[in-house]
Amino acid sequence: MNKKLRVSPSPHIRTKETVENVMWDVVIALTPAILAAIYFFRLGAVKVLSVSIITAVVSEAIAQKLMGRKIQIKDGSAIITGILFAFVVPPTLPWWITMIGAGVSIILGKMVFGGLGHNVFNPALIGRAFLLASWPVAMTSWIGVDGKAGPTILGVLKEHGFSKVLDMFGNQGAMYTKLFLGNVGGSLGETSVLALLIGAGYLLYKKQITWHTPVVYIGTVFVLMWIFGQDPLMEIMSGGLILGAFFMATDMVTTPYTSKGKILFGLGAGILVVWIRLKGGYPEGVAYSILLMNGVTPLINMYTRPRIFGGVKNNG
Amino acid sequence: MKLFTFKGGIHPPERKELAEDKEIEVFAAPKVVYIPLIQHIGSPLDPLVKVGDEVKVGQKIGDSKGFMSAPVHSSVSGKVLKIVKHPFPVNGYANSVIIENNGEDEWIESKAVDDYTKLSSEELLGIVRENGIVGLGGATFPTHIKLNPPKDKVIDTLVINGAECEPYLNADNRLMIEYGKEFVEGVKIILHILGIKKAVIGIEENKEEAIEKIQNLVANEDGIEVGVLKTKYPQGGEKQLIKALLDRVVPSKKLPSEVGVVVQNVGTAKAIYDAVVKGKPIVERVLTVSGLGVKTPKNLLVRIGTQFKEILESVGIDEEKTEKLIMGGPMMGLAQFTDEVPVIKGTSGILALTEKEMNSYESRSCISCGKCVSVCPMNLMPLMYAKLARFKEWGEMDRYNLMDCIECGSCQFICPSNRPLTEGIKIGKAKLRGMKRK
């Protein structure tokens, strides 16, 4: 043969799946929730989403350029961060705060760690935590259940108790229906349980996530809230729990990789949500529960190393 | 029907269809053969012939007194042209005996055995060694050593590896279909050597014809049965096979004899039959020529020492599209730098792979998706190896049980970032072996 042959170690074939496929699957899975957000929050949603996505992608490109790296914005990971960041802020957030938040998500949440795959915390949640500390008023100006400015369900619950929440909806059945469909106040992307579940189903079907973390996470919140005398169904359908459980606590980069680890992550995050909602200063705890568990992930990975085939026990 | 399997593994595109129905064709002995003086795991052999000598087919031309060795034989009759370094498919170059074929196909006098049951294990092991038999699955471990396990281990079961889980390859499949009788006789000889009664032949579900054929052949054989395995890679890994068929777990860093098992490949069993009953040493083997770069994929019976080049020319190769030339399967096979390498005992396949089937993809950062962890048949954490190798943390790699890795490549196959996982593993293993020797 006259041609120069390529020589490299085995294996010589690989799956057709690439990082791009993985990321774009997540984007596709987020689409129903994007549509729901636009349906419920109209122009506010379009504004926050577009500012956030554009800022995320542009800041990633700039950061990669400054770091002397190849520009890889096409892998879709910055778009995901842009969408997720928009999803965890109020639809009324001024455009310039949105921009700062999305930029912080990418720069401080991801690029300073070295870019995709190296970050310890969920970038979108870093952006959210940053804004909550810097512009607390803007970050908690919600559109309420009645479409006018007002607190979220969890906010009302924290301030005035469950009976006041029920008053807002009329009865329990109406409350569940509204929560499930999504025409209630809250962050952009967390309101429609239905839309989020459709996306989650897609990710499960494509095997980009497993059931372990979401089921244990949501289950833990449900059971503990029930034990503590709360309305468990309302608790799991409000706040960002469904969004967080399926789209953030399953983020490959910042969460454990074994099934056992994923279960522990869900359990820990669930306990933290209940703790923060019942005892903490904030009405809602999903973001902090995931960020805190992100920090524990390396430890979980260390302690959930699989037992090797034919091994008696871990020797590490 | 119950399908036997193990935990983990992957489902690469099989591409068996390219050649699985092609009957084994005899590939004409070439004008010149290049026979490397090492075709087994172990030390190289000394030549037993010199330039100018006339040799016959089956004549021993290289041997060694080393414990871990198996002799090589001439695959043609003719004259020794040279004994020099020649491209070698395992690594670079090897001392090789180059023989010009006189086309007479004169054989050495046969030492066939009429009734092997009258011979002792030692005598039969001697025959196995003298005929140069090594593991024909590709690992080329000397068979007479494998069939003589430590005396303190009680062996009760022979496992025959007919899984052939590597994509593309059909050599074992075709052997079972076309030489089923000889193969089963070979299994019986191995049982006799081991002095045991029980054999399980593991065949993957996708080889229906072979399963049916062998099931019929062993229907009246006491103690020999067929275990149908789930089609999955690496189903043919020794430890995976034993777990799947017998539900026994070979302890970490131990051999199958630890759990009373000896594993042999289909081709090796057939070779043992040829050696004992026909008095034929290994001078040829069945292999699959395939890959999308090959115009007419085939299964061939090829003389040892035939250059890849000649085989590829005969089946037609698309040089334009071919990017890699592989000896063996696409998962564990060895990439070749030249097509001048010869067929050796361990050549189960010759693959000409194109860009399209390899799915090359630029390596990216690890996104910790954990897919490599979930497919690892040894329950290791492959993602750690690439990281640790980068920082030269060899000791730490050992703590992550690097030495238990069977290098099946499942982790790198599944990795969406195409991390150089097996490369890190191979370097790490070499470094660790070096450290342990000191």
The answer to whether the CB atoms of A12 and B330 lie below 8 A apart is yes
pLDDT of A99 above 50: yes
Across B127-153, average pLDDT = 94
Across A103-111, average pLDDT = 96
Which A positions 104-123 lie with beta carbon below 8 A of chain B? 114-118
Confidence tier at A314 by pLDDT (50, 70, 90): very low
Which residue among A5, A114, A306 places its CB closest to the CB of B337?
A5
- Contact indicator for B160, B202 with CB cutoff of 8 Å: yes
The rounded distance, in Å, linking the Cα atoms of B107 and A277 is: 87
Confidence tier at B144 by pLDDT (50, 70, 90): very high
Instruction: Render pLDDT for A136-185 as a digit per residue (tens, 0 to 9).
Output: 888 888 776 566 667 788 888 888 888 888 888 888 888 899 889 987 87
Query: How long a stretch of residues is chain B?
Result: 438
The rounded distance, in Å, linking the Cα atoms of A267 and A252 is: 17
The answer to whether the CB atoms of A115 and B365 lie below 8 A apart is yes
Distance from CA of A70 to the nearest CA of B (A): 11
Q: Which residue in chain A has the smallest CA separation from B325?
A: A5
pLDDT of A315 above 60: no
Provide the pLDDT for residue A212. Answer: 96
Across B212-237, average pLDDT = 95
A contacts of B376 (beta carbons < 8 Å): 306
Residue with the two structure tokens 């359908």: A237
Question: Is A239 or A105 the better-scoring residue by pLDDT?
Answer: A105
The answer to whether the CB atoms of B335 and A9 lie below 8 A apart is yes
Q: Which residue in chain A has the smallest CA separation from B364?
A: A19
pLDDT of B414 above 70: yes
A contacts of B91 (beta carbons < 8 Å): none
E strands, B14-143, in order:
25-26, 32-36, 46-47, 54-55, 60-63, 72-73, 78-87, 93-101
B contacts of A1 (beta carbons < 8 Å): 309, 312, 317, 319, 322, 325, 338-339
Provide the pLDDT for residue A312. Answer: 62
Work out the percent of chain A whose per-residue pLDDT is above 90: 69
Estimate to the nearest angstrom the gap between the alpha carbon of A214 and the chain centroid. 11
Of B284, B421, B291, B278, the C-alpha closest to B352 is B291
B contacts of A257 (beta carbons < 8 Å): 368-370, 373, 381, 383
Q: Which residue in chain B has the smallest CA separation from A77?
A: B367
A contacts of B335 (beta carbons < 8 Å): 5-10, 12
Provide the pLDDT for residue B438. Answer: 65
Q: Which residue in chain A has the smallest CA separation from B326?
A: A12
Distance from CA of B12 to the nearest CA of A (A): 7
Residue with the two structure tokens 């150089």: B420
Q: Which residue in chain B has the smallest CA separation from A207?
A: B371
| Spatial CB neighbours of A238, under 8 Å, sequence gap ≥ 6 | A152, A153, A154, A179, A184, A186
Pairing of strands B198-204, B157-162: parallel
Pairing of strands B224-229, B322-327: unpaired
What pTM value is reported for the model?
A: 0.91
Beta bridge partners of B225: B200
The answer to whether the CB atoms of B416 and A9 lie below 8 A apart is no
Of A168, A199, A189, A172, the C-alpha closest to A239 is A189
Query: How long a stretch of residues is chain A?
Result: 316
Residue B67: count of CB within 10 angstroms of its CB: 9
The rounded distance, in Å, linking the Cα atoms of B271 and B128 is: 9
Highest mean pLDDT among A18-22, A186-190, B137-141: A18-22
- Contact indicator for A85, A248 with CB cutoff of 8 Å: no
Distance from CA of A52 to the nearest CA of B (A): 23
Provide the pLDDT for residue A145. Answer: 58
Distance from CA of B414 to the nearest CA of A (A): 5
Instruction: Render pLDDT for B254-285 as a digit per residue (tens, 0 to 9).
Output: 999 999 999 999 999 999 999 999 999 999 99
Confidence tier at A316 by pLDDT (50, 70, 90): very low
Question: Is B386 or B82 the better-scoring residue by pLDDT?
Answer: B82
Across A46-54, average pLDDT = 96
First-to-final CA distance of chain A: 49
pLDDT of A313 above 60: no
Classify burial at B122, counting beta carbons within 10 Å of its beta carbon; exposed 0-12, middle 13-18, buried 19 or more.
Answer: exposed
Of B348, B236, B419, the C-alpha closest to A14 is B419
Count Cα atoms within 13 angstroms, Cβ side, for B341: 25
Across B6-23, average pLDDT = 93
Q: What angle do CA B60, B63, B68 make, to 5 degrees?
A: 135
Query: DSSP letter at A92?
Result: T
Estimate to the nearest angstrom the gap between the alpha carbon of B245 and the chain centroid. 20
User: If you compute the radius of gyration of chain A from its CA atoms, what whole number of angstroms results?
Assistant: 21
Query: DSSP letter at A244?
Result: I
Instruction: Render pLDDT for A64-75 as a digit per residue (tens, 0 to 9).
Output: 999 999 998 989
pLDDT of B46 above 50: yes
The rounded distance, in Å, linking the Cα atoms of B398 and B422 is: 15
Across A228-253, average pLDDT = 94
The rounded distance, in Å, linking the Cα atoms of B181 and B174 is: 13
Torsions phi, psi of A120, nearest 5?
A: -90, -35
- Contact indicator for B354, A30 with CB cutoff of 8 Å: no
Instruction: Render pLDDT for B308-366 as a digit per residue (tens, 0 to 9).
Output: 999 999 999 999 999 999 999 999 999 999 999 999 999 999 999 999 999 999 999 99
- A-B contacts at Cβ under 8 angstroms: 177
First-to-final CA distance of chain B: 52
Of B359, B350, B311, the C-alpha closest to A12 is B359
Q: What is the mean pLDDT of chain B?
A: 94
The answer to whether the CB atoms of B368 and A16 lie below 8 A apart is no
DSSP secondary structure of B1-50: -PPB--SS-B-----GGGTTTPPPEEPPPPSEEEEES--SSSPPPEESS-
Q: Which residue in chain B has the smallest CA separation from A311?
A: B252
Of A190, A181, A184, A42, the C-alpha closest to A128 is A190
Across B154-160, average pLDDT = 96
Amino acid at site B188: K
Question: Is B213 or A159 the better-scoring residue by pLDDT?
Answer: B213
- Contact indicator for B325, B289 with CB cutoff of 8 Å: no
Question: Is B433 or A243 the better-scoring residue by pLDDT?
Answer: A243
pLDDT of A15 above 90: yes
Confidence tier at A37 by pLDDT (50, 70, 90): very high
Provide the pLDDT for residue A238. Answer: 86
- Which of B312, B361, B368 is the best mutation test for A, with the most CBs of A within 10 A? B368
Hey, is the C-beta of A313 within 8 angstroms of any chain B C-beta?
no
Helices A193-205 and A19-66, packing angle to 10 deg: 110
- Contact indicator for B133, B70 with CB cutoff of 8 Å: yes
Q: Which residue in chain A has the smallest CA separation from B410?
A: A11
Which residue among A7, A253, A258 places its CB closest to the CB of B373?
A258
Which A positions 193-232 lie with beta carbon below 8 A of chain B? none
Provide the pLDDT for residue A163. Answer: 86
Provide the pLDDT for residue A141. Answer: 81
Provide the pLDDT for residue B43. Answer: 85
The rounded distance, in Å, linking the Cα atoms of B242 and B159 is: 7
Hey, is the C-beta of A298 within 8 angstroms of any chain B C-beta?
no
Provide the pLDDT for residue A242. Answer: 95
The answer to whether the CB atoms of A15 and B330 lie below 8 A apart is no
B contacts of A307 (beta carbons < 8 Å): 379
Pairing of strands B334-335, B322-327: antiparallel
